[in-house]
Amino acid sequence: MEKKILRSKRINWTLISILIIVPVGLYSKFYNGPAAHWVNDSLGGVLYVIFWCLLVFLFLGNTKPWKIATTVFLITCFLEFLQLCHPPFLEFIRSYFIGRTILGTSFTWFDFPYYFAGCGIGWLWMNFLQKHTK
């Protein structure tokens, strides 16, 4: 019974975390203030990776956070390289906001450090949730 309560607590705090990161991440895509380009693209990449770490953690909470962060980083890197491809089916997906948000539209090497930072923050966040919901 106690394990179930602890798991429920972890799930609740992970959901709250996701409910915080999603609007912040979406807002970063529409931000128009100082350093807007950096916020829209680079900071948005950090938030994107944190979101995916937390989402995977929500369903695989018993998995070690470093494994989740590493997997999310590798998949995000794959998706970045996928931006070099422009077949019709990918262009169709990218024609919608959610498709552009998930798949991206243009490749740049400068995104990789931000993905790495997002994984590091995601790893710290998942560790915090795991330790403080025990």
pLDDT tens, position by position, 64-86: 999 999 999 999 999 889 888 88
pLDDT digits (tens, 9 = 90+) for 18-76: 999 999 999 998 999 999 999 988 999 999 999 999 999 999 989 999 999 999 999 99
Helices and strands per DSSP (H, E), number in the chain: 7, 0
pLDDT at 5: 61
pLDDT at 102: 83
Report d(CA 15, CA 27) in Å as an integer: 19
Predicted TM-score (pTM) of the model is 0.89
Q: 23 is written with which tokens? A: 């609007």
Task: Count CB neighbours of 102 within 10 A.
Answer: 13
**List of residues 6+ apart from 27 with CB closer than 8 A:** none
